[in-house]
Structure 1
């Protein structure tokens, strides 16, 4: 396994929450066995794929953008399998059961029923579902947090609670995103090729017809498949990646707002408006 491009692990970001997150890239397939403590575990997969097996059942694949939620009264073992196809971008939040009941007043019996009712995999007390834009935005905010020390811990703790509450409040609701016709392996490969092309050409992305031609598909399959696989349109993906790149550049320092905007394909005025709408602060606040 290579070093993460960026990441963090905070066993006790607060007395009741442990967090980890980052980007992992594996040079060869890896198998990891984890003993999960009693309580709630939430894994948000922003990109990439992870396979897991628990309670002696068949392995399940979680392909980002997606989340996995589990609840247990006892410790249990999870067997993870990591592939090499794409970096795994993730956020994990863990909370013990007594925190859910004593600190947040959660009715564990009711929560258990809700989770079981939403389980589609046959694995009790687990939910695997596609992640919507709000969950993705919260995960990215956590991964891109520019703060350090105690301020970072406070920020991440708050975002972790918001992420968990958003997932738990929505598990009774039907999925709003339709999966459509299943994508075959060739479709997925072409869509990931299109994603790679966009990442390489963020400053001046190709048009949809050009992108379809470069990735070996047509515009209809590209637009429908891209939304199905990545949970957003091609346009939204480019916009989000541009803003994330700008955020990291400004948080690292040594670059002006105008230069960051130019590097990400924005005019200065449009960039400031888009950045403020996305992150709630002006880009100059990070400069």
Structure 2
């Protein structure tokens, strides 16, 4: 996470063996804020325990990440990412960063082996992936956010937990990739990525499943089953979550009414309030 004067609690370990840097904390903002972060080549894992943010890589669409979830990025070149933070709720996070040479030389984790887990190949940098965090990942993230061991052993504890957290995430991605690989070819994965991008571009009025399948070059069955395998959600669930995240961001920015947010995201007022409350636990009017 970027340095910010709005951190109400946090810590950083810029270098722990083997060449791993960690940070974590709770960020609160009195007004929406946008921060540009420059990153070195390597692996970056951010576990979002609570709250939400949006990310944007150069020449790509904005991607929302709402906790409990994790975002992991792999890049063989330096890259820049834009973060946007809202005001509705604190952002609780833990991040782990590992350089490419650490992955390959110290941890015996070949980046070329990792890249297919991101639905890409090394050289197409950066590659990012969002997933819902399971109980094991959340437990490790919470242990790192508030380490139970004080004093000199704290760094040792956090270094071990960082490696365990990264291994747990990589194992989850490997298991998921194995399931996808059993029924999806690389060309199918590319078409599914295209389908996801089309949905993100047309959130207000998304295409029907048959239309989306045609635009992506898939049949409806392959789109439906493959989308869930590749992204962990059905197309409908993905559209719903991205719409609600967009609405949350607009309302938190304070320059749009609830009715306008509902319309912009393709909802009627009454249905919007219901699904928004179910997703975030508060009425959308409370963000105004």
TM-score with structure 2 setting the length: 0.61
31 and 178 in structure 1: CA distance in 2 versus 1, 3 angstrom threshold:
closer
Q: Shift of the alpha carbon at 1:32?
A: 0.4
Q: Shift of the alpha carbon at 1:15?
A: 4.2
1:26 aligned to which of 26, 29, 35: 29
123 and 97 in structure 1: CA distance in 2 versus 1, 3 angstrom threshold:
closer
Tell me the distance in 1 between the aligned counterparts of 2:67 and 2:47.
8
Instruction: Determine if the alignment matches structure 1 residue 111 to structure 2 residue 114.
Output: yes
Instruction: Determine if the alignment matches structure 1 residue 58 to structure 2 residue 146.
Output: no
Gaps of 5+ in 1: 195-214, 216-287
2:144 aligned to which of 134, 142, 145: 142
Q: Shift of the alpha carbon at 1:136?
A: 0.4
Tell me the distance in 1 between the aligned counterparts of 2:125 and 2:76.
15
Asked if structure 2 preserves the Cα contact closer than 8 Å seen for 1:116 and 1:126, the reply is no
Tell me the distance in 2 between the aligned counterparts of 1:117 and 1:189.
36
In structure 2, the residue corresponding to 1:172 is in which secondary structure?
Answer: helix
Instruction: Determine if the alignment matches structure 1 residue 39 to structure 2 residue 42.
Output: yes
Q: How many residues align?
A: 193
TM-score with structure 1 setting the length: 0.61
Deviations 1:84-130 (A, max 9, x none): 11110000000000011111111221111222259xxx986211111
Q: Shift of the alpha carbon at 1:178?
A: 5.7
Tell me the distance in 2 between the aligned counterparts of 1:145 and 1:124.
31
1:188 aligned to which of 267, 276, 281: 276
| Cα-Cα RMSD | 2.6
Tell me the distance in 2 between the aligned counterparts of 1:108 and 1:3.
34
Gaps of 5+ in 2: 177-227, 245-271, 284-288
